[in-house]
Amino acid sequence: MSRSTTLFPAATPIRERISTTVLDRLCAHPDMDDHALKRLIAHTAARELSGSRLAWNEQQHMIEHLYHAMRGYDVLQPLMDDADVTEIMVNGPGQIYYEAGGVLHASAIRFEDADHLSNLIVHLFSRGNRSVSQSAPVADIRLPDGSRANAVLPPVAPDGPILTIRRFTGIRLQMEALVKEGTLGEAQASYLSKAVRERRSIFICGGTGTGKTTFLNILSSCIPPGERVVTIEDSAELRIQGAANLVRLEARTPGPDGTGEIDMEDLVRTALRLRPDRIIVGEVRGSEAAAMLQALNTGHRGSLCTGHGNSCRDMLFRLAALAHTAAGLPYSSLLRQVGTAVDLVIHMERLADGRRVVDEIRSVHPDEEHGFRLEPVPVTGGCAV
């Protein structure tokens, strides 16, 4: 089914009867597996559609739609099945966009109404033992395939429910593919691969959707085999390549009673007790900055991190500011810590045509007066260095 095809139209009485019958059986047998559910839907549909004028392909369409509504992603299933789709943005029941090949497209797929969209959101989150409601209208969840979903419900979203899914297709990209696509030049690729092997601490920065996480995943493939790697994330989305000795840590939000939170700073401190050769932080954006600087300055070299920054210099100033807010140490002292903790900063940009490129690479050096100084790396070609 095409990613731009409108799925089964507005609800019909016959579809409602099939759905009600199947859901009643499903409630009585909550452990029913996917194959059994498909058979149940097919048998129920065959009975209800006996003598119907509905064409065979439309009957199959209805069966498929009912299954996806109960166990899959409902009308979004074609987009979730498309390996080229990297992000799905639902602004409301009748406004759906997706990103493929770095370009945004409007989809012809529609939900029936706001309740239909809300039901899918609640269903997705309940499957992951997470709640989202008007009393807790903003929530994130990691989906079974590793994708990350964010939902916003009224009253925070006054125009209706919003759902965004950032997908991770499992495609193992290599550095050579990025060179071929023009993300960076061959000399830069060689330089950065060598820097990872030599245990230089690297920060990747840029705006939202510039490819920071993808680039970090690819750089991780340059880590020598046999090293123990610990990843730290707010919401697990890294796909570390080639690390057999891998430990993944994920932050936890507070429970309904406000207790049980484990934040990124807690995880950094935990990682230090796990005898890591490398610490990889999915995104540094809070109090974990201070703990991370301390780790980098006490022998834990070779780390890879991402963060939001408009330039390499801006990223380092922001890192010091985050650490200052968390630790209360003098800002000038933290700038000096940045100068000794970080070896390289990479800035990524998303161009108007949707391509993600490395547009700046800087080496970081201590500086008595300013805390750190940035210098161009000694390579040329393919991006601004």
37-52 tens-digit pLDDT: 888 888 888 887 777 7
Cα–Cα distances (Å) from 347 to 50, 167, 321, 361, in that order, read: 61, 22, 18, 6
Find out whether 265 and 291 touch, Cβ atoms under 8 Å. Answer: yes
CB 374 within 8 A of CB 175: no
Task: Look up the pTM and report it.
Answer: 0.73
| pLDDT mean over 251-268 | 86
Q: Does position 67 have pLDDT exceeding 80, yes or no?
A: no
Average pLDDT rounded to a whole number, residues 261-274: 94
Average pLDDT over residues 262-267: 93
Domain 76-171 listed as CATH 1.10.10.10: no
At 168-191, the pLDDT tens digits run: 765 556 888 899 889 999 999 999
- Domain 175-376 fold is Rossmann fold (3.40.50)
Domain range list for the chain: 1-71, 76-171, 175-376
Say how far residue 144 (Cα) sits from the centre of its chain. 13
**What pLDDT, on a 0 to 100 scale, did the predictor assign at position 321?**
96
Amino acid identity for residue 146 in this structure: G
Q: Using one digit for the tens of pLDDT, what is the confidence trace for 70-118?
A: 777 888 989 998 988 989 999 999 999 999 877 889 999 999 899 989 9
| Range with the poorest average pLDDT among 25-29, 169-173, 239-243, 266-270 | 169-173
Is the CA virtual torsion 380, 382, 384, 385 positive or negative? negative
Per-residue HEC secondary structure of the chain comes to: CCCCCCCCCCCCHHHHHHHHHHHHHHHHCCCCCHHHHHHHHHHHHHHHCCCCCCCHHHHHHHHHHHHHHHHCCHHHHHHHHCCCEEEEEEEECCEEEEEECCEEEEECCCCCCHHHHHHHHHHHHHHCCCCCCCCCCEEEEECCCCCEEEEECCCCCCCCCEEEEECCCCCCCCHHHHHHHCCCCHHHHHHHHHHHHCCCCEEEEECCCCCHHHHHHHHHCCCCCCCCEEEEECCCCCCCCCCCCEEEEECECCCCCCCCCECHHHHHHHHHCCCCCEEEECCCCCCHHHHHHHHHCCCCCCCEEEEECCCHHHHHHHHHHHHHHHHCCCHHHHHHHHHHHCCEEEEEEECCCCCEEEEEEEEEEEECCCEEEEEECCCCCCCCC
pLDDT in tens, 139-162: 988 888 878 899 999 999 999 999
Q: pLDDT over 70 for what percent of the chain?
A: 94
